């Protein structure tokens, strides 16, 4: 567990919040966010494959249909294009749909609806219409899902103007970000790291699972609150180098810092686009070194954009080449899951290269 004296923005927000809190997993926090919004706004609807009666494959929507009825929480056919297409139409006419793509790997049939319709609606209508919809997608590996249940496709979405792309790393942020996404008038791609659903994961798959109930960021307000969609958090202050990470890799980077003794400042991006460039630049200029970590494949991954921005804005402050640690340029291998997954050993090796550079 991290040093609790080194607080994140989420910790500070939680500490300042005098509302009743409860220990929650990320699953429970996401469910609570939808519960809050269904209760506050009659225009919010939730649907997707098996999200109604069954409660979703990961049970994130469990109990919501029983509480709000089949007209507001319902199942959809196995048609990602149909799910997103109907959501675009609902959003254009005033509803705020929250739809689930059962695994992020399955979004591809909905690409035209996401890119050509949802992302472009405000622009092509000269602001007459917006598309306030949220598309939830469980993403990432670490659960032996193989090539079709483990992808991290965030870079596809950050490339598309008109979309917001979000990936939380803990229950507190997950709830606040999801509420902010539902209330936002832009289409939001909300990526949920599956390996973090039930507890923080530092990449050591051979160790006992740690529950969110044992971590401060698992303490979540029960009511309404938001986390800004355009603000990163300094997850761990440090002075030796800056780590830019999001999702599961935030916890892997923390483990690597602990195990190598490198005083790494870990910036949890939280929202990939729009990017909080000010926080990124301030950190890198302070430390003079930068390591970028993500689970997605390396080539054309979001880390490449981050590296370009750091080079552009921090060139004269850099003391060493920028390091990138990512998944390999292969499909996610079922039999070699942990050879693909960027664990603390690979991240720690990058820390040492950056410090020696």
Burial class of residue 88, CB neighbours in 10 A (0-12, 13-18, 19+) = buried
Give per-residue burial for 204-243: e unless 16+ CB within 10 Å, then b. eeeeeebebeebbbbbbbeebbbbebeebbbbbbbebbbb
State both tokens at 213.
């109930």
> Does residue 231 have a cis peptide bond before it, meaning omega lies within 30 degrees of 0?
no
234 beta partners:
267
State both tokens at 241.
């180098």
How far is Cα 25 from Cα 32, in angstroms, rounded to an integer? Answer: 10
135 beta partners:
99, 189
| Angle between the N-to-C axes of helices 344-356 and 249-260, in degrees from 0 to 180, rounded to the nearest 10 | 60
| C-alpha 156: how far from chain center | 14
Q: Which of 253, 338, 328, 331 is nearest to 298 (CA)?
A: 328
How far is Cα 287 from Cα 283, in angstroms, rounded to an integer? Answer: 6
Contact 145, 249 (CB under 8 A): no
Residues that are catalytic: 149
CA distances from 322 to 251, 274, 309, 310, 357 (A): 20, 22, 11, 8, 9
How far is Cα 43 from Cα 68, in angstroms, rounded to an integer? Answer: 12
Q: Which of 116, 111, 162, 161 is nearest to 137 (CA)?
A: 111
Pairing mode, strands 96-100 and 44-48: parallel
Angle at alpha carbon of residue 152, lines to 147 and 153, rounded to 5°:
105
């Amino acid at each position: 567990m991290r040093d609790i004296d080194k607080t994140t923005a989420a910790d500070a927000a939680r500490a300042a919040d005098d509302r009743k809190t409860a220990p929650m997993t990320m699953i429970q926090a996401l469910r609570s966010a939808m519960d809050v919004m269904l209760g506050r706004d009659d225009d919010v609807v939730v649907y997707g494959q098996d999200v109604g009666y069954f409660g979703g494959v990961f049970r994130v929507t469990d109990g919501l249909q029983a509480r709000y009825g089949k007209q507001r929480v319902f199942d959809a056919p196995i048609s990602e294009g149909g799910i997103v297409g109907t959501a675009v139409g609902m959003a254009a006419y005033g509803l705020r749909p929250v739809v689930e793509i059962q695994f992020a790997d399955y979004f591809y049939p909905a690409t035209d609806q996401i890119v050509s319709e949802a992302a472009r609606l405000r622009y092509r209508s000269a602001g007459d219409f917006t598309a306030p919809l949220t598309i939830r997608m469980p993403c990432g590996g670490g659960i032996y899902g193989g090539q079709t249940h483990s992808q991290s496709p965030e870079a596809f979405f950050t490339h598309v103007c008109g979309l917001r792309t979000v990936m939380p790393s803990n229950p507190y942020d997950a709830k606040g970000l999801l509420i902010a996404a539902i209330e936002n008038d832009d289409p939001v791609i909300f990526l949920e790291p599956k390996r973090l659903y039930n507890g923080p994961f530092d990449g050591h798959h051979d160790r006992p699972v740690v529950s969110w109930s044992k971590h401060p960021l698992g303490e979540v307000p029960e009511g309404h609150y938001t986390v800004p969609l355009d603000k990163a958090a300094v997850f761990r202050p440090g002075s030796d180098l800056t780590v830019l990470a999001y999702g599961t890799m935030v916890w892997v980077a923390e483990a690597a810092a602990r195990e190598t003794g490198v005083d790494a400042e870990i910036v949890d991006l939280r929202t990939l686009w729009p990017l909080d460039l000010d926080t990124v630049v301030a950190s890198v200029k302070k430390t003079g070194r930068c390591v970028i970590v993500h689970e997605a494949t390396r080539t054309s991954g979001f880390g490449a954009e981050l590296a370009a921005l750091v080079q552009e804005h921090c060139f004269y402050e850099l003391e060493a080449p920028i390091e990138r640690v990512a998944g390999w340029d292969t499909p996610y291998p079922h039999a070699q899951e942990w050879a693909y997954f960027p664990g603390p050993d690979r991240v720690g090796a990058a820390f040492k290269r950056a410090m020696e550079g």
